[in-house]
Structure 1
Amino acid sequence: MSGLLLRNVSTGYLPARPCVRNVDLEVERGRIACLLGPNGAGKTTLLLALAGLLPRFTGDVVVDGLVVESGRPRQAVQSGLVLVPDDRALFRELSAGDNLRLAVADRKRRRGAIDEVLEYFPALEKRMAVAAGRLSGGEQQMLAIGRAILQRPKVLLIDELSMGLAPVIVDDILAALRRLATERGMSVLLVEQHVHLALRTADDAAVLVHGSVALTDSAAALSTEPARIERAYLGAAARVYEPTGVVREHPTVDDR
């Protein structure tokens, strides 16, 4: 299987009390999946586990058919999993250009690689000499994503993409992500609070509620049936119609 595959993944901070339980999820190459859910559902915790920053208690994370070791962030990156965290983790005192240059160890390919980033985010070109901490929120998010793609990810993980950003900036970033997924065959998994923005760009969607997947379907299907998302958020049972036509029932809080 090409792309990202999660099988029965449980994770958290205490093995006896996992925050995320038995998650099955798939993001094929060239596709964007959004992970939705209320605050505290475990979305960020799941991304941290995928990036190796938290251990997995159960289950496998598979990238292009190869299992990624648990709790090994360096190995996760080497496997192709790259995380853009919700705080963007930029070197705020360094210039935007220096933030990008630090992501490319090979000096021979550095200039060309950075030029490719600027093709996706042309707004950064005139801001390369500006300290990252002085950039606007949208520019910082572009810089964080640009730095991530310099690591040649197979799977790009983005936490809270639109936090604090104007909708027009979010639209530009989402358009760039669509290009990245299509042109580079990259799998993208993004956590997003703005449901309609996420569904408008994504191919697939999953709703996480109290650490468990309550609903999965194509983004197109869910965008036309918002009541199903509302039921999942509120904990009512959700009938899930997969793109293949298979009907699946995901247990929610009320059902367990």
Structure 2
Amino acid sequence: MTALHCEGMTAGHGTGSPCVRDLDLSVSEGEIVALMGPNGSGKTTSLTTMAGLLPRKGGSVSVGGHRIRSGNARAAVQAGLVLVPDDRALFRRLTTEQNLRLAAPRRGHRSKELIDNAIDHFPALRSRMKVAAGDLSGGEQQMLAIARALVQTPKVLLLDELSMGLAPIVVESILPVLRSVADAGAAVVIVEQHVHLALSVADRAVVLVHGQIVLEADASSLAADMTPLERAYLGQD
């Protein structure tokens, strides 16, 4: 079943020309899609527009068949679409536990259960629950950002620049969590500049160049032969 469907989505900042044009993208439940492309190709703009942080200039975004109102982040979250932005957007002065509690959609026993389930993915955070988010390491902050998203029980999880500022060994420890989230039924879209890392966890890769899709392929096929990906990045037919 399709979890996320973008049809003709056009996006950009302000009144200037759009940097994403007529994007058609569908992601199924349980599928991980790597959204790739050169710097400035529209990847982050695509995610922030899907998440309602940026109004669309055209087209539609649907979660589970229900259309999301343009530029309405609350409606996107209520529909089950959750974004982990590249800056992680943590409340740095609040503790790990407080960041998670703020994200929990319910209070009481259910809230505790959601937090416990999210932390199960990142055991290293259990001893850091009373530590301010700003005092966590970069890897711990990324774990917290993802755990906070999981507390919201997303149907669609969007991750922008997962590996930014992190050592490869830390990223490799996080990737299996994304697979676990997808296996539980969520759709996952990941923007990641490190091609090999992205392809190692994704089922499918979608390449944007100048705001348009120029290549869609099975991730394992691209990992085995990078030639089509290299040509797409270089703008060659």
- Contact 2:2–2:26 (Cα < 8 Å) also in 1: no
Amino acid paired to 1:11: A
- State the distance in 2 between where 1:35 and 1:15 align: 25
**Residue ranges of structure 2 left out of the alignment (5+ in a row):** none
Q: Which 4+ residue blocks in structure 1 deviate beyond 6 angstroms?
A: none
Partner of 2:18: 18
Once the two structures are superposed, residues 80-132 of structure 1 have per-residue CA deviations (whole angstroms, 9 ceiling, x without a partner) of: 11110000000101111111111124223122111111111111111111110
**Residue ranges of structure 1 left out of the alignment (5+ in a row):** 238-256
Deviation at 1:141, TM superposition (A): 0.4
- State the distance in 2 between where 1:131 and 1:16 align: 40
Alignment of 1:22-41 (within 5 A): 22-41=22-41
Once the two structures are superposed, residues 154-205 of structure 1 have per-residue CA deviations (whole angstroms, 9 ceiling, x without a partner) of: 000110001111111111111011011102x000001000000100110011
Partner of 2:224: 224
Deviation at 1:214, TM superposition (A): 1.1
Once the two structures are superposed, residues 6-44 of structure 1 have per-residue CA deviations (whole angstroms, 9 ceiling, x without a partner) of: 111110014551010111111110111111111111111
- State the distance in 2 between where 1:4 and 1:225 align: 28
Amino acid paired to 2:161: E
Partner of 2:50: 50
- Contact 2:155–2:187 (Cα < 8 Å) also in 1: yes
Alignment of 1:155-166 (within 5 A): 155-166=156-167
Partner of 1:240: none
Amino acid paired to 1:123: A
Amino acid paired to 1:68: I
Once the two structures are superposed, residues 61-83 of structure 1 have per-residue CA deviations (whole angstroms, 9 ceiling, x without a partner) of: 11111111111111111111111
The structure with higher relative contact order (CA 8 Å, sep 6+) is 2
- State the distance in 1 between where 2:204 and 2:56 align: 24
- State the distance in 1 between where 2:119 and 2:67 align: 33
SS for the counterpart of 1:6 is: strand
- State the distance in 2 between where 1:97 and 1:16 align: 41
Alignment of 1:122-161 (within 5 A): 122-161=123-162
Amino acid paired to 2:224: T
Q: CA RMSD in A?
A: 1.1
Amino acid paired to 1:174: L
Amino acid paired to 1:175: P
Alignment of 1:42-191 (within 5 A): 42-104=42-104, 105-183=106-184, 185-191=185-191
- Contact 2:159–2:190 (Cα < 8 Å) also in 1: yes
- TM, length-normalised to structure 2: 0.97
- State the distance in 1 between where 2:4 and 2:159 align: 14
- State the distance in 2 between where 1:2 and 1:46 align: 18
- State the distance in 2 between where 1:146 and 1:207 align: 27
- Contact 1:15–1:57 (Cα < 8 Å) also in 2: no
Partner of 2:209: 209
- State the distance in 2 between where 1:65 and 1:225 align: 35
Note closer, same or farther for the CA distance 1:58–1:122 as it changes in structure 2 (3 Å cut).
Answer: same
- State the distance in 2 between where 1:39 and 1:27 align: 23
Amino acid paired to 1:34: A
- Contact 1:4–1:62 (Cα < 8 Å) also in 2: yes
SS for the counterpart of 1:82 is: strand
- State the distance in 2 between where 1:106 and 1:18 align: 41
- State the distance in 1 between where 2:11 and 2:49 align: 7
Deviation at 1:2, TM superposition (A): 2.6
Which stretch shifts more, 13-22 or 167-176? 13-22
